[in-house]
Amino acid sequence: MKKIISLVLCLMLGSLVLAGCSDNSEPFEEKNYTSDTQINEINLDVEDREIEVSLSEDEQVHIQYSENNKEYYDISVSGNVLTMTSASNKEWTDYIGFKPDDEYRKISLQIPDALLENLTLSTTNEDIILSDLAVTGSISISSAEGDITFGTLAVGNALTLSAKNGDISGAVAGSYDDFSIHSEIKKGESNLPDNKDSGEKELNVSCNNGDVDIELVSD
């Protein structure tokens, strides 16, 4: 009897796996978004997607991404703030099976240099990569299960970086005296002091199970 029950359970599980792998998902389609209004702030909060940020050549905001009927995004603009968030139409069986190919799990964001006030980026299970860029206000970057890597970032008042199970590395425009520094590192190494109170700008770093290597670069 036990063998029969085990066989039935295996068959049921096999059917569920096949259902998850052969769902009715449409193929992923590459899409492009370009802002038709002035954007002062960007909030990008997604899951399981790599984010790559570079400079725009025409001083507009551009986003390249892929989506289908199961995994897509909500993009909206309100009060000169652009928001992009993950959305899903999945049933629980859709989570059984393989992830989409790498090319469909990437978001490319192009922003104008030194024209944005604030930039906020958050993702899970993937990296966040930024080229040299500047904002007039603050930058906040968060990644769970991924690295944060950047060129030279210039901020008007604050840079906040948070990673779990990933490394943080890059350069920040300014001298050591320009920043008050607050860092909390667990299960990793860091070249930053835990606390430094003086400085007109803020550098806040949190890293759990990863290393931090940030260089301060003055003109």
Query: Which CATH number is 178's domain given?
Result: 2.160.20
Total Cβ atoms within 10 A of residue 57 = 9
The Cα 190–Cα 204 span in angstroms is: 13
Position 12 in a domain: no
Position 3 in a domain: no
Q: What is the DSSP letter of 200?
A: S
The Cα 89–Cα 68 span in angstroms is: 10
Q: Work out the pLDDT band at 17, boundaries 50, 70, 90.
A: very low
CB 183 within 8 A of CB 190: yes
> Quick check: 11 pLDDT over 70?
no
Nearest C-alpha neighbor of 150 from the set 158, 161, 135: 161
User: Tokens representing 146?
Assistant: 């991924």
Position 1 in a domain: no
Position 18 in a domain: no
Q: Work out the pLDDT band at 98, boundaries 50, 70, 90.
A: low
Choice among 11-25, 40-54, 78-92, 102-116 with the minimum mean pLDDT:
11-25
CB 134 within 8 A of CB 114: yes
Domain that holds residue 57: 27-217
Q: Tell me the residue type at 109.
A: L
Position 2 in a domain: no
The Cα 145–Cα 49 span in angstroms is: 11
Position 195 in a domain: yes
Task: State the total domains in the chain.
Answer: 1
Position 161 in a domain: yes
> Quick check: 20 pLDDT over 70?
no
Position 201 in a domain: yes
Convert the pLDDT of each residue in 32-83 to its tens digit: 999 989 999 999 999 999 999 999 999 999 999 999 999 999 999 999 999 9
Is the pLDDT higher at 10 or at 63?
63
User: Tokens representing 164?
Assistant: 């779990």
Classify the C-alpha dihedral 18-23-29-33 as positive or negative. negative
CB 71 within 8 A of CB 32: no
CB 48 within 8 A of CB 105: yes
> How long a stretch of residues is the chain?
219
CB 214 within 8 A of CB 171: yes
What is the value of pTM for the model shown?
0.86
3-state SS of the chain: helix, strand, coil percent to 5?
Answer: 15, 50, 35
> Quick check: 8 pLDDT over 90?
no
Nearest C-alpha neighbor of 31 from the set 56, 64, 61: 64
